[in-house]
Amino acid sequence: METVIEVQGLTKSFGSFKAVDHLNFKVAKGEIFGFLGANGAGKTTAMRMLCGLSKPTSGSARVAGYDVQLNPEKVKQNIGYMSQRFSLYDDLKVEENIRLFAGIYGIPRPLIKTQTEALLEKLHFTEERNTMVRALPLGWKQKLAFSVAVFHQPKVVFLDEPTGGVDPVTRRQFWELIYEAAAQGITVFVTTHYMDEAEYCDRLSMMVDGRIEALDSPQQLKEKMGVASMDEVFRLLARKAKRTE
């Protein structure tokens, strides 16, 4: 199978503190890869390196066919990114946000127009095209943010806690968008604190103190550790943490 993310010995140190410590893993095309870990385990730091936003101290990573160290700009053009904190401009309209991001990702103008219509229709947002994003309910914003992040059909989309604070109904609608994108061949790299969502992933890695402590399918992880739920898997692994922050 085609490999879309390949990480070898990836490390990031801040002084003597190793935030990310020798990560090694591969993610295949169309895979939904869950990136779990407690607050402070190093997930965000690792993700920033994979997105070409931060330089590794040592080791390497290839994302969407490009080396994050040598070609960070190429990496950025070939991925989508969505975080819970920032993804859309609150003071732009729905349609303006789509146009802005489509332009940034270099989609040709005539295509932007037709694809925007198709997206608004798919999300049932045609009535809200002129609504300011700040006026949308959180769940709608997140669906729009995700759709904008995959609008240019990237090879990989990185989702940093995309469903934080969202109710069970909206979270499920959101995950159906993820399933759909993965079925179209987009690789999904996602962090979450919801363990039922961890179950929706094809494979999971669990970070503890900057290292990957376990990596397997949800089913295999549960069987190996002899527990019934992902919640227990998380707690057992997180307990190994020595650093407190």
CA dist 139 and 172 (Å) reads: 10
Report if residue 179 touches other proteins, rule: CB under 8 A.
Answer: yes
Report if residue 37 touches other proteins, rule: CB under 8 A.
Answer: yes
Report if residue 16 touches other proteins, rule: CB under 8 A.
Answer: no
Indicate which single residue of 49, 112, 200, 215 sits in contact with other proteins (rule: CB under 8 A). 200
SS3 193: coil
CB distance 51 to 191 below 8 Å = no
Place of tokens 């503190």: 17
Indicate which single residue of 86, 165, 220, 224 sits in contact with other proteins (rule: CB under 8 A). 165
Report if residue 242 touches other proteins, rule: CB under 8 A.
Answer: no
Virtual torsion, Cα 182, 164, 46, 146, nearest 10 deg:
40
How many whole angstroms from its chain centre is CA 188? 6
Indicate which single residue of 55, 122, 124, 235 sits in contact with other proteins (rule: CB under 8 A). 235
Q: Which of 171, 175, 243 is nearest to 207 (CA)?
A: 243
Report if residue 167 touches other proteins, rule: CB under 8 A.
Answer: yes
Report if residue 40 touches other proteins, rule: CB under 8 A.
Answer: yes
CB of 44 to other proteins, least distance (A): 10
Share in percent of the chain as helix, strand, coil (round to 5): 40, 25, 35
Which two structure tokens, joined as six digits, stand for 229?
A: 């739920």
Q: List binders of other proteins among 204-223 (CB under 8 A).
A: 218-219
Nearer to other proteins, 58 or 219 (CB): 219
Report if residue 104 touches other proteins, rule: CB under 8 A.
Answer: no
CA dist 149 and 81 (Å) reads: 6
CB of 40 to other proteins, least distance (A): 4
CB of 9 to other proteins, least distance (A): 25
Over the window 128 to 147, marking each residue x when it contacts other proteins by CB under 8 A and - when it does not, the resulting string is ---------xxx--------
Indicate which single residue of 6, 117, 161, 216 sits in contact with other proteins (rule: CB under 8 A). 161
Neighbours of 207 (CB within 10 A): 27
DSSP string, 129-156: TTSBGGGS-HHHHHHHHHHHHTTT--SE
Q: Where does this chain bind other proteins (CB under 8 A)?
A: 37-40, 84, 137-139, 161, 164-170, 172-173, 175-176, 179-180, 182-183, 193-196, 199-200, 218-219, 229-231, 234-235, 238-239, 244-245
